[in-house]
Structure 1
């Protein structure tokens, strides 16, 4: 197990920066997760029930990540001083797992995701490790971004494509 120091991603171009997620970021993290769950908003149910379902799904995701990746780094992506996204990274041997990346819809398509991924690629290249991630098949924009940045299919299931990148 190798730790991934936050300084490893110092190559992010201004105005982007990463910092460790703190307890006082929980409200942002909840809003960010909620912004990614339009699929659940299509459920034929009362809005309050849907919001409860989203909150429950967020708790389950968080628990699952902490169980599967107990040493993961939880990072907040900022544009200047404004939080716009989150990353969950876990290094296991020669593989850097991008467990999760989420960017607020209003901040998507403006280069933040590309900047983060290029910084990860630079770090992985410098440490001679691969990057693995999973992307939902329904997320065409993210899939296209990963393909443009050289990620290749290493497997798939009914819901996700499993991608890999190496220098």
Structure 2
């Protein structure tokens, strides 16, 4: 059975259409233009994909940097907290005294334990014993290391008052020069 197709009043058989489709046809200008546009679009797609990949790589790098920075900050906070705990057990009077300690030997081990805290506190205690309470004053305080000697905090210098009205001119000028030289 043959299908009939009507074109502009003409009747043609399906066989005639298939024969016409098999013949090579000439490429039109619009097809050439569309193919060129397709090539440009593919090139532009490659450029955009390359930019996207660069942005993703940069974002991953920034994320990794932020995560490592956050981990380092957390490690430092843990070290500070553990060092404070060790100092309190050693009987430190004021935690602000920890600022005087050399923290170069203190670190956080792989297992989460603090390394070098006892030595740091012992060194601080021997170098600046006035930062720590005496063992008799702080019951229940564990000794980290036996201190060499316990010293009292250095006494502040007593202020010297001078009445300028009672000084001679030479003495007044000497006192004035001392004050201005500070």
Instruction: Report which of the two structures shows the higher radius of gyration computed on alpha carbons.
Output: 2
Q: Provide the TM-score with structure 2 as the length reference.
A: 0.20
More strand by share: 1
Q: Provide the TM-score with structure 1 as the length reference.
A: 0.21
Larger RCO (CA within 8 A; separation ≥ 6):
1
More helix by share: 2
